Amino acid sequence: MGEKSAVRPGGRSARVQRAVHEAVQALDEEVPRDKLTVPQVAERAGVTPSTIYRRWGNLKELLADVAAERLQPDAPVADTGSLEGDLMAWAGVYMEEMRSTPGQQMLADTLGSASTEQRQRCLQAQQDQLRLILSRAEARGETPLPTVEALLDGIMAPLTYRLSYAPQTLSKACLERWVAATLR
């Protein structure tokens, strides 16, 4: 009797997810969001609508999954040589990306999900970046260092709030104020 083989990374499931995500991103360019449907995504991805419903449940959860994936950092946080500089660089990139029209849509999709899984993925990515920033600062001998939670509360929370409700009011001065207050 043979042993049961484990699910291979990069197998059919990964191919389906990639095809569906690519279909959503392509259709986002072609179809107004309020006209987007699961059958359209399924047709473009080459899968059945039931595949999408089985995996994601509904269009809203699929959009949140695509957004959470796109919100994962694609480059390491800039190393500016100081904790304050690194935090400003990190927050500045995040602000600019999320203030854009696609960024605003991704933020809305992620926050609009009934599931906490997508929001957790986004939070985890930000926590990982902040840990990297703090470990660099520690290696440079910068003290005292705030905690990841303090950085989330002092910088990420007001930034996300403003991005959600008043993105036009965000500026570099806001980031400078939040970073300075958090590092005090």
What is the DSSP annotation of 50-81?
Answer: HHHHHHHSSHHHHHHHHHHHHTS-SSPPP--S
pLDDT of residue 72: 80
Q: 3-state class of 29 per DSSP?
A: helix
Residue with tokens 């929001």: 119
Percent of the chain with pLDDT over 70: 95
- Mean local confidence (pLDDT), 123-141: 96
Domain ranges of the chain: 1-57, 83-183
Architecture of domain 1-57: Orthogonal Bundle (1.10)
- Mean local confidence (pLDDT), 18-33: 92
pLDDT of residue 36: 93
Higher pLDDT, 62 or 73: 62
pLDDT of residue 39: 96
Decide: 33 and 108 in contact? Cβ < 8 Å. Answer: no
**Whether residue 4 has pLDDT greater than 50:** no
pTM: 0.80
